[in-house]
Structure 1
Amino acid sequence: MSSQQTKGLVLITGANGYVAARTVESLLLAGYSVRGTVRSLSSAEPLYASLPAHLRSDLSIVSVPDITSPGCFDDAVKGVDAVAHIAAPVSATFSDPEPVLKVAKESILRALESAATEPKVKSFVLMSSVAAIKPSGEDTWDLDENVWNDASLEMVEKMGKNTPGFVIYGASKTAAEKTLWKWRDENKPGFTITALNPCFIAGPPLVPASSPNGINFTTKFIYDVLEGSTPLSDISRGMFPGLVDIRDVARMVVFSISNPEKSNNQRFLLASAFSPIQAVADIIREKFPEYRDRVQKGSPGKGYTRMVQADGVKSYDFPQQQRYNGRKAVEVSGQEYIPWEQTIVDGVEAFKGFL
């Protein structure tokens, strides 16, 4: 497919990342051409190699070494129809909030400023996070798109360099998204704006890891359960008890760009399942009998609720005291989330070669 035959050209920042790579694939499969930014051109080679050959001709890569530098995206944005800003610092072990928040805020400003210089741009999508929604330090919650994690910014203000890493991360995502909406209000751009707020993202990466240590940290728990040497109680599922499949996150980027009349000025909390590590072990032992002796048994069925729906699909529902309402994305897009068991099965298929 030549670029002239595509639905349009989309700029993806940080194109070689875990989420961005799947987004590149989803856009190409949906009929778009993609221009991706990376720090160095060589870092995009695994992305090219992981795509089907017939899609590669509609992907181009440009180098943007510093995503906070004024005008850094000006050349990359020329001729594009939409922008998806995905590049951002991600870690639960940050030790100094000042540089993290600086990158988070300045990178989104640079992307917005550059988008505003290109008349063709019709849509702008920010990959935000549930960390911009879930208040830090609360034990119970019932969350939707109307909630903001202002508590994280307040904690950073009070604690400075003593702020816990996961709070710094939440503050960075909150600050970045607030920067997005403030810029919209002040500049009134001619393109639509959407924020996606996924919970902890899991599922098979597009670009295969070269070793277990190379598996993205948000989905590595699947391999850790499969590998079997670590007690289930010691395996971290991540900072947030809500989860969503990486392919659903990528799909919502495509949807937001393709349906501006439905996505403009919207936040979408993406949350499909509540699944403690015990549930992951139970799924693997059920779906992969050959690994039953490897995967630790734990206490089957403990700590979660599995409901069998009319179509036979099993849902892993959020407990009443810790609810993430991700239904808006389903209702607006008209498509259900990938079943959580499918996420685990596909993750095992991606990682079992390391055993």
Structure 2
Amino acid sequence: MGSTAPKGKVFLTGGSGFIASHILDQLLSSGYQVIVSVRSAAKGDGIISALPEELKANVSYEVVEDIAEENAFDEAIKGNSSIDYVIHTASPYHFNFENPVRDFIDPAVKGTTGILLSVKKYAPTSVKRVVLLSSTATIMNPPNHPEVYSEQIYGETTWEQALSGTGTYRASKIYAERAAFDFIEKEKPSFDLVSINPCLVFGPPPRHLPGLDALNTSNHRIRDIVLGNNRAEITPTGPMFLFVDVRDVAEAHIRAMELPEASGQRFMLVGGFFSNKRIADIIRELYPKLHDKLPLPELPDDFPENYYSYDVSKSKRMLGMEYKDLRTCVKDAVDAMIGES
């Protein structure tokens, strides 16, 4: 039998990231050809070398060193002008920054508007849709929480909060998502836009990860419990007590990319509630050999009373999402981490 032609070409930004690695896996498994953007050739080579042999032929990479630079994506898109879709995940998520604007807000906002502008200039007729990895940070409104969160709610922030450090990540996501939809409204490109808004994302780390030191920020809490760093005291969970499995986030991106009716929509993704205590209890139950490293079972749970709820019926109805539970998510993450440790 001859080889099957790819379903289409997808340009995936931030290819070495946690969520992007799972999007890449699922795109390749679904038969797409993928071009990933990375900050260095070493990162691109690492991604491809970690893939199963049979999938490597359908992946290539483009180096985009600084997504906040003007015209950063121009050459990458110009060289791949026959792409059908763009999935934009490149945006900072960490707590090791010195300058909120330079290190966080500019890469998020300018990277988002930059990829949209490059697509409009150099792939104006081939690209059908851009899928933006956003966040529930663009939906949440702390401390004035409603009873139920859904995609109909828009988060708000001030410039002072954006520069505060604690509010910088949230502001970067709000400004980037707002800028993306404003671009579509004002520039009226031939492609449309969908926003994917996950909460805190856990799950198996990327296969190209060199070690647990390079683990994504949201998985640190699971890693720290496994390594015994929370033996005497569990790190406080808050302010976010909602989680979603990374594989569900990846699946939502691809379904939103393919589904015509998703045009212009936002999709909030939540798998359920969690606390660090609940994660520790799952690990204690499933991994007896880790007992000596785990927090004492009598330590209190900090999950708040009268916590807000959420409504993800839209993602279930339109995208057909079925969310993995916390036990499955933690087990698969720990299995991968134990293999890496």
TM-score (ref. length: structure 1):
0.86
Give deviations 1:235-285, integer Å, cap 9, x for gaps: 2546522111111111111111111x2211110111112110111111112
Shift of 1:300: 7.6
User: Which residue in the other structure is 1:89 paired with?
Assistant: 92
Q: Which has the higher mean CA deviation after the structures are superposed, 228-237 or 166-175?
A: 228-237
2:27 corresponds to: 27
Assess, with a 3 A threshold, how the Cα gap between structure 1 residues 168 and 302 changes in structure 2: closer, same or farther. Answer: closer
Residue 283 and residue 71 in structure 1: after superposition, are their counterparts in 2 closer, same or farther (change >3 A)? same
Q: Unmatched 5+ residue regions in structure 1?
A: 305-317
Q: Say if 1:89 and 1:103, in contact at 8 Å, map to a contact too.
A: yes
Name the stretch that deviates more: 167-176 or 221-230. 221-230
Q: Does 1:350 align with 2:340?
A: no
1:121 to 121, 127, 150: 127
2:149 counterpart residue number: 143
The yes-or-no answer on 1:80 pairing with 2:83 is yes
* RMSD (Å), alpha carbons: 2.5
Q: What is aligned with 2:322?
A: 336
Q: 1:110 aligns with which of 98, 107, 114?
A: 114
- The Cα offsets for residues 18-68 of structure 1, whole Å up to 9 and x where unpaired, read as 111111111111111100111111112221122211111100011111213
The amino acid of 1:71's aligned partner reads N
Q: Is the 8 A contact 2:195 2:267 kept in 1?
A: yes
String of CA shifts for 1:126-154, please: whole Å, max 9, x gaps. Answer: 1111111112434665211111221x2x1
Map of 1:321 onto structure 2: 307
Q: Say if 1:194 and 1:266, in contact at 8 Å, map to a contact too.
A: yes
Equivalent residue, structure 2, for 1:310: none
Q: Structure 1 residues 208 and 297, CA, compared in 2 at 3 Å: closer, same or farther?
A: farther
Mapped to 1, the partners of 2:340 and 2:38 lie a distance apart of 28
Distance (Å, rounded) in 2 between the aligned partners of 1:319 and 1:271: 19
SS of 2:74's partner is: coil
Task: Give the structure-2-normalised TM-score.
Answer: 0.90
Note if contact 1:16-1:38 (Cα within 8 Å) is conserved in structure 2.
yes
Stretches of structure 2 lacking an aligned partner (at least 5 in a row): none
For residue 148 of structure 2, what is the amino acid of its counterpart?
A: D
Shift of 1:302: 4.5
CA distance in 2, matches of 1:238, 1:14: 27
Moved more, 18-27 or 69-78: 69-78
**C-alpha distance in 2 between matches for 1:174 and 1:292:** 41
* 2:200 matches 1:200: yes
Equivalents in 2 of 1:330, 1:111: separation in Å?
29
For 1:32-47, list aligned pairs within 5 A.
Answer: 32-47=32-47
Distance 1:177 1:159, change over 3 A: closer
Q: 2:105 corresponds to which residue? A: 101
Aligned equivalents of 1:140, 1:228: Cα separation in 2: 36
Question: Partners in 2 of 1:160 and 1:268 — Cα distance?
Answer: 24
Counterpart residue identity of residue 85, structure 2: A
Shift of 1:301: 8.8
